[in-house]
Amino acid sequence: MMEYTPPDLDLQGLVIIPPAIDPLSPKNMALSADDARYITNQFGIDAERPFLVQVSRFDPWKDPLGVIDAYRLVKEEIPDIQLVLIGSMAHDDPEGWDYWYKTVNYAAGDRDIFLFSNLTNVGSIEVNAFQSVADVVIQKSIREGFGLVVTEALWKARPIVAGRVGGIPMQVEGGGGILVDSVPETAAACVKLLEDPGFARQMGRRGKEHVREHYLTPRLLRDDLKLFAKLLGV
Ligand code: UDP
């Protein structure tokens, strides 16, 4: 992002190239609604009731405890709501376990909160399925890099509620989601989307178009080629 370039340096030939996702990878390939539902049902989610999902490492910057707080506020308005938190336990992230247990304790045995990880067989296809059928995808980060997980959810035409940090605003500016700065805002945005499916669908469609235009691998390849051509002076 331009904001990260030192303003007092004259960087000749500076090129800004955002990341992209591969739409043909298991994480992002198109799943039929039936297949995606089949997968989420296997994990015990009640298909008759709506669910929110956040897919993120268990890390304070991803704020899983804030997501649970927001879910509890949503539940006051929509008692049927379920929450799915998915996080991979990276080998290079020892703090992940502490935060996982902290999150499990915070969920306090609520049977409508589901915590999954790669260690409970939630890998790329399963993440894809949960992102594909969630009623709302949350990314309540309080600090973020680019936030690839937001790209992934937008690509699946899901409405997003996400923290106004890092690379998230530039991804959501196409109209694919609602930016938030607090737990009450997160909850209010989720309720709005859950209560107005037409609005949620429209938002999902806009998000997908924005990703198609800006954050898929063909665009990344074009940018890389342009950069190489520039470097080679051709
Ligand atoms: N991810 C995953 N399983 C999980 C949690 C995360 O596959 O249980 C993936 C997610 O789909 C995304 C990446 O990990 O592709 C996270 O990238 P992001 O830029 O959102 O955040 P980071 O972890 O790099 O801060």
Q: Which domains does the chain have, with CATH numbers?
A: 27-232 (3.40.50.2000)
Q: How far apart are CA 120 and CA 115, in angstroms?
A: 9
Hey, which of 122, 144, 149 would you mutate to test ligand 1's pocket, going by the most ligand atoms within 8 Å of its Cβ? 149
C-alpha–C-alpha distance, residues 95 and 203, integer Å:
35
Q: What pLDDT is attached to residue 29?
A: 98
pLDDT single digits (tens) 22-81: 999 999 999 999 999 999 999 999 999 999 999 999 999 999 999 999 999 999 999 999
Query: Predicted confidence band at 91 (pLDDT cuts at 50, 70, 90)?
Result: confident
Which atom belonging to ligand 1 lies closest to the Cα atom of 86? 8
Instruction: Please write down the HEC assignment for all residues of the chain.
Output: CHHHCCCCCCCCCCCCCCCCECCCCCCCCCCCHHHHHHHHHHCCCCCCCCEEEEECCCCHHHCHHHHHHHHHHHHHHCCCCEEEEECCCCCCCCHHHHHHHHHHHHHCCCCCEEEECHHHCCCHHHHHHHHHHCCEEEECCCCCCCCHHHHHHHHCCCCEEEECCCCHHHHHCCCCEEEECCHHHHHHHHHHHHHCHHHHHHHHHHHHHHHHHHCEHHHHHHHHHHHHHHHHCC
Measure the CA–CA gap between 76 and 70, rounded to whole angstroms: 10
Between the CA of 93 and the centroid of ligand 1 the distance, in Å, is: 13
In whole angstroms, give the CA distance from residue 214 to residue 41: 33
Tell me if the pTM is above 0.85: yes
pLDDT for the residue 101? 92
Q: Which one of 56, 132, 170 would you pick to mutate in the ligand 1 pocket, going by the greatest count of ligand atoms within 8 A of its CB?
A: 56
Q: Is the CB of 147 under 6 A from ligand 1?
A: yes
CB 57 near ligand 1, within 6 Å: yes
| Ligand 1 atom with minimal separation from the 88 CA | 8
List pLDDT tens digits, range 216-229: 999 999 999 988 88
Ligand 1 contact, 146 CB (< 6 A): yes
- Residue whose CA is at the smallest distance from ligand 1 atom 12: 149
> Does any ligand 1 atom lie closer than 6 A to the CB of residue 55?
yes
